[in-house]
Amino acid sequence: MKKSDYLDRWNSAVQSNYGTPSLVLTKGKGLIVTDADGKKYLDFLGGIATNVLGHAHPAIVKAVSQQINTLGHVSNFYAHPHVVELAEKLKSFTGDSDAKVFFAQSGAEANEAALKLSRRTGRFRVVAAQGAFHGRTMGALSLTGQHAKREPFLPLLKGVKHIPYGDLDALRRAVNRRTAMVIIEPIMGEAGVIVPPPGYLQGVREICNNTGALMVLDCVQTGMGRTGDWFGYEYSGISPDVITLAKGLGGGLPLGAMIALGACAYLFQPGDHGSTFGGNPVTTAAALAVIKTIEKENLMVAAVKHGNYLLQEIAQMRGVKEVRGAGLLIGIEFNSEIATQVMIEMRAQGVLVNAATASTVRIAPALNVTAAQADKFIIILRKVLSDVK
Ligand SMILES: *Cc1c(COP(=O)(O)O)cnc(C)c1O
């Protein structure tokens, strides 16, 4: 069956919230995906920063196949070995001996869990950033700071205030002793890979310390090695109260996590929250395979090396106003609003990227991208930028 046949069927049977997809993908191996018409693409989007080990990585295939053959699902009435091991791993990455993990399926659910946890402080007000993306469920959407996504669904949760990202004075004015939590992305991903000014996360920490507001870091996109450390904030030297993860965590399987640190680890009481699939044996097996492979193959070091190379090469290209990011989360901002055109032309040339904003293309390839693949990307982007008007 051809791409056009699938898309006709999609349009008549799948909700139109995503519009019509641009491709129908049928298989993948490493960073190469194949579409229904047999055309191959170099995947520099990685399922939106999710396929940290690329497609069909043998370690994930093996872990998932073995687990589904052994024990597929148990509910949260019962424990199983992988959920315990994964929680211990994530806890160890925080460096906090009190940390405790709640598992969900997605980024939105991880942030919902953080939101509910913060209510256990006895406060309800929240401060988040303009332009931030925290998910699409009603609680997470209340945190998301993008007008177009919120507007059709008002009224959302009350008591949420959005302030400019990177502006500590604005944050200081907005946060007080009635604020339950401040939620911030270490780098704003969906907004176009916006890197905060130096000292920002330290300043957020200080404001939260002074007011007793929980500092929640949404590491859904920056986490799992993408920016060179496990969560994407560690360079700052601070420690948040809550970390949320998803995207890369399951290496392509649906898994999210909310990690509460210090005294926050004790805020949830039995019965306070739950999720049928959360911490499922198969998805946690995948996550353990992801973590072990990142460690064994030193992929965080590789991500920083390839990321720095890409930053340096892209910065010299015609039409590029700014290129920014950390590790393999990179935003390429052009002098004009050509991002969609660049995305379409790159796809025609066999490379997948995403137009995060009208003027910014985002790339988030798998952490095991090769030097040859990075070079191929650079050659094609340079060619596309010399053609696009
Ligand atoms: C993608 C994303 C989310 C939402 O994750 P879903 O799995 O789509 O619910 C939340 N926060 C950030 C920073 C994200 O990038």
3-state helix/strand/coil string of the chain: CCHHHHHHHHHHHCCHHHCCCCCCEEEEEECEEEECCCCEEEECCHHHHCCCCCECCHHHHHHHHHHHHHCCCCCCCCCCHHHHHHHHHHHHHHCCCCCEEEEECCHHHHHHHHHHHHHCCCCCEEEEECCCCCCCCHHHHHHCCCHHHHHHHCCCCCCEEEECCCCHHHHHHHCCCCEEEEEECCCECCCCCECCCCCHHHHHHHHHHHHCCEEEEECCCCCCCCCCCCCCCHHHCCCCCEEEECHHHHECECCEEEEECHHHHHCCCCCCCCCCCCCCHHHHHHHHHHHHHHHHCCHHHHHHHHHHHHHHHHHCCCCEEEEEEECCEEEEEECCCCHHHHHHHHHHCCEECEECCCCEEEECCCCCCCHHHHHHHHHHHHHHHHHCC
CATH architecture of 3-56+298-387: Alpha-Beta Complex (3.90)
Q: Which residue owns the Cα nearest ligand 1 atom 15?
A: 221
Active-site choice (93, 102, 103, 133): 133
Domain boundaries, the chain: 3-56+298-387, 62-296
Instruction: Tell me the pTM.
Output: 0.98
Residue 133 known to be catalytic: yes
Nearest-CA residue for ligand 1 atom 5 is: 107
Which residue has the CA at smallest separation from atom 6 of ligand 1? 107
- Those residues whose C-beta lies under 8 Å from the C-beta of residue 54, and which sit 6 or more positions away, are 28, 29, 30, 31, 43, 46, 366, 368, 369
Ligand 1 atom index nearest CA of 189: 15
231 is known as an active-site residue: no
Measured from CB, residues less than 6 Å from any atom of ligand 1 are 106-108, 111, 133-135, 185, 189-190, 218, 220-221, 246-247
Measured distance CA(218)–CA(1) in Å, rounded: 40
What is the 234 CA–ligand 1 centroid distance (Å)? 20
d(CA 280, ligand 1 centre) in Å: 20
Residue 19: per-residue pLDDT = 95
Confidence band (pLDDT; 50, 70, 90) for 389?
A: confident
339 Cα: distance to centroid of ligand 1 (angstroms): 21
For the segment 9-13, the average pLDDT, to the nearest whole number, is 97
CB contact set of 19 (below 8 Å; sequence gap of 6+): none
CATH architecture of the domain formed by 62-296: 3-Layer(aba) Sandwich (3.40)
pLDDT in tens, 143-191: 999 999 999 999 999 999 999 999 999 999 999 999 999 999 999 999 9
d(CA 226, CA 364): 8
CA of 246 to the centre of ligand 1 (A): 7
* Among 3, 91, 100, 247, the one annotated catalytic: 247
pLDDT, tens digit, for every residue of 302-334? 999 999 999 999 999 999 999 999 999 999 999
Share of the chain above pLDDT 70, in %: 100
Residue corresponding to tokens 């920002």: 200
Q: 135 CA distance to ligand 1 centroid (A)?
A: 5
Which position has the token pair 């604020």?
179
Is 218 an annotated catalytic residue?
yes
The minimum-distance atom of ligand 1 relative to the CA of 219 is 13
